[in-house]
Amino acid sequence: MDKVIREKVEEWGKSKAISCQSVSGGCIAQATKIVFESGQICFLKTMQQSSSESLDIFQKEAHGLEELAKAKAIYVPKVYLAEKDFLLLEWVENKPSRQTDSFWEIFGQQFSHLHRFQGESFGFFENNYLGSSRQENCASGSALKNWCDFYHQHRLLFQIKLAEKNGYGKKELLSTFACLEKKLPEILSGSEEPPSLLHGDLWGGNYLVSEVGKPVLIDPAVYYGHREADLAMTHLFGGFGERFYQSYEESYPLSLGHEERLNIYKLYHILNHLNLFGMGYYSQALRLMKYYL
């Protein structure tokens, strides 16, 4: 651990760190389990690579966790310290073996309760990150109140422009998207709802199972949007039990036709993966677009 970070962490904990153990984490941050002399255990995230474009990534993650906590719907780790070079959180032991038969039912119900926590407009008070990609949340004009405009301008079009900048904006991709964006109001018609608080990046790697077998959300990309977009990400890579969706639907039924809108919401994440990881996601992005053409 960096000496300066250690000093700040120990000052916060009013105790010496007697153990610093690396744990598995994502590709962006180095994850460390810290045990203090006092007996307290914390989770520390530090940057694996410095980047001028992501100096605020930990502060934005902290704000997302704090926003999720406001809903009091599903557990998130407490934020202790958030600075440009590190994030100190409550340690939550991941115990997949404690996952009971009721886990997915509880998860689905609690996730629906999260989505009942609503905002006045789409987006968020600040831009943040989806993985290491910038996520544009600060909307204006019609995009503040109109989900179709927000999703078009600040999600799909933002990623398409980024793909052009990164050299992935091939002619077929751009022409197919030009056709798709004309149909977007029709695709999303009938699903209008107030802005819901979204985790923003919920896949199998972004939840834990607590000591008592309950779900815990981590690594959010928070904003206020359409809850179908949040659920679509859970479908993208699979791994969520069928009872999760049944329980969600029983608690907070989705609008008619939500199954047909899954691909339009998956598209945002696949375009982001295209921009993050390259052409391996190009064909999948095209297929998702052509589904509606």
As a whole number of angstroms, the distance between CA 75 and CA 269 comes to 24
Q: How far is CA 275 from CA 77, 114, 162, 221, in A?
A: 29, 29, 7, 17
Cα dist from 106 to 26, 57, 73, 97, 200, whole Å: 26, 30, 11, 16, 19
Distance of CA 3 to the CA centre of its chain: 31
Q: How far apart are CA 238 and CA 177, in angstroms?
A: 26
Residues 6+ apart with CB under 8 A from 144: 121, 122, 123, 150
**DSSP three-state, residue 18:** strand
The residue annotated as part of the active site, out of 2, 149, 201, 219, is: 201
Q: Who contacts 232 (Cβ-Cβ below 8 Å, separation ≥6)?
A: 261, 262, 265, 266, 269
Q: Which long-range contacts (CB under 8 A, 24 or more apart) does 121-127 make?
A: 121/145, 121/195, 121/224, 122/146, 122/147, 122/150, 122/195, 122/223, 122/224, 122/225, 123/150, 123/154, 123/223, 123/224, 123/225, 124/67, 124/222, 124/223, 124/224, 126/60, 126/63, 127/60
Query: 201 catalytic, yes or no?
Result: yes
CB within 8 A of 60, min separation 6: which ones?
A: 126, 127, 128, 129
Which residues are known to be catalytic?
Answer: 201
